[in-house]
Amino acid sequence: MSKTIYLQSENNQEVAHSYEKLSDLKGEFEKRKITIAPNASIGTEVRLGNNIAVGERTIIRSGSSVGSNTTFGDDIVVEKNVKIGSDCRFGDNSTVFESARIGDRVLIKQDSDIGARSSIGSSSVIDSHASIGKESIIGTNATIGSSVITGSNSSVGTGAALGANAHIHDNGVVYDSEIVRANSVVRPPIKPVNLVNDEQVEVFNNMNAKGVKYVAFGSFAVDAYEQARSVGSIKVWVEPSTENINKLNEALKESGKDRITTNFDPDIKRPIKSELDKSTSQSFGIDFYPSINGFKSEEFQKIHDRSVLVQGAEQNRTPLYPDSKKEQLPINHMSLQDLFHNVGSTQSQAKEYNLKVLHKTMVDLKKQGQELDIIDPLLYLDSNRTNMATKKSYISYPGHEDKPKEFVPKYEKRDFAQLRKDLDLELVLNHYGYSLSDKSKPNDVYRVYKSGIEGDSQRLAVMNNPKGDYKMYVDLNNTNFRGDSIEFVKFKEGGYKEAFPVMDSMLGNPTYKQSVSQILPMKPATPGQFLNDEKLRQADILKEYNATHIGEKRAGYLVNERQLDIKTVLAPEFKHQILSVKKNSEFENIAFPLTSQKGNILSFDIRNKDYKALPVGGKWDGVWKTNDHAVLLKDSEFTFKDKAVQLEKGTIGTLSRSAGVASFHTDHAVHGPISLVVDKDKHQFEKIPANRIIISESPIDSLSYHQLSPPKAGEYRQYISPAGNPSREQKMHISNLISSNPQAQFVIGMDGNAPGNRFAINYLAVDHPLRDVNNSIVPNISYINPTKSKVEDKAQKDIGYNILKVEINHPKVDGQDNAKKSSDSIIDRLVAAINVHSTDDSKLAKESFLSRKIVEKPSAFSSSYEIKFPNISKMLSSALDYLAKEITLKDGKPLIAILRPSSVQNDFNDVLKDRKGQPLPESSNLSLSRIPLLSDFAQKNEQSQNNSIAPSPSVSPKASFNEPAMKAATPEAPTPIKKQRI
Q: What is the DSSP annotation of 178-242?
A: -EEPTT-EEPPSP--EEEE-HHHHHHHHHHHHHT--EEEEHHHHHHTTT--S--SSEEEEE---H
Question: How high is the pLDDT of residue 326?
Answer: 36
The distance in angstroms from the start CA to the end CA of the chain is 103
Neighbours of 38 (CB within 10 A): 8
Beta carbons within 10 angstroms of residue 324's beta carbon:
8
pLDDT of residue 156: 86
pLDDT value of position 965:
28
Tell me the pTM: 0.53
Alpha-carbon Rg for the chain, nearest whole angstrom, is 35
What does the pLDDT read at residue 586?
A: 65
Residue 216 has phi, psi (to 5 degrees) of -80, 145
The HSE-up count of residue 479 (CA atoms within 13 Å, CB side) is 12
3-state class of 440 per DSSP? coil
- For the chain (length 982 residues), average pLDDT per consecutive 10? 86 88 90 91 92 93 93 92 94 91 92 89 89 87 84 82 80 80 71 77 88 92 72 85 93 87 90 88 87 90 90 53 50 90 82 82 77 74 42 32 36 69 93 85 83 77 84 83 88 80 88 88 78 80 88 89 94 94 82 91 91 82 94 92 90 88 90 88 90 95 96 94 88 90 93 92 93 94 65 50 93 92 94 88 83 88 93 92 95 92 87 93 87 57 40 34 30 32 28
Interhelix angle 496-508/485-493, rounded to 10 degrees, is 120
Kind plus residue range of the DSSP H or E element containing 844: none
Residue type, 182: A
For strand 478-484 and strand 471-475, is the pairing parallel, antiparallel, or unpaired? Answer: antiparallel
**Residue 782 CA to its chain's centroid (Å):** 25
Alpha-carbon distance of 733 to 603, in angstroms, equals 14
Provide the sign of the torsion angle of the four alpha carbons 273, 274, 279, 280, taken in this order.
negative
Tell me what pLDDT residue 317 has: 38
Greatest CA separation found in the chain?
118
Q: Which amino acid is at 18?
A: S
Quote the CA–CA distance of 40 and 22 in Å, as a whole number.
Answer: 9
pLDDT computed for residue 189 by the predictor? 65
Give the Cα separation of 52 and 69 in Å (integer).
5
What's the CA gap between 709 and 711, in Å, rounded?
7
DSSP per-residue codes, 705-758: HHHHSPPPTT--EEEEE-SSSPPHHHHHHHHHHHHT-TTSEEEEE--SSHHHHH
Rounded Cα distance between 552 and 544, Å, is: 23
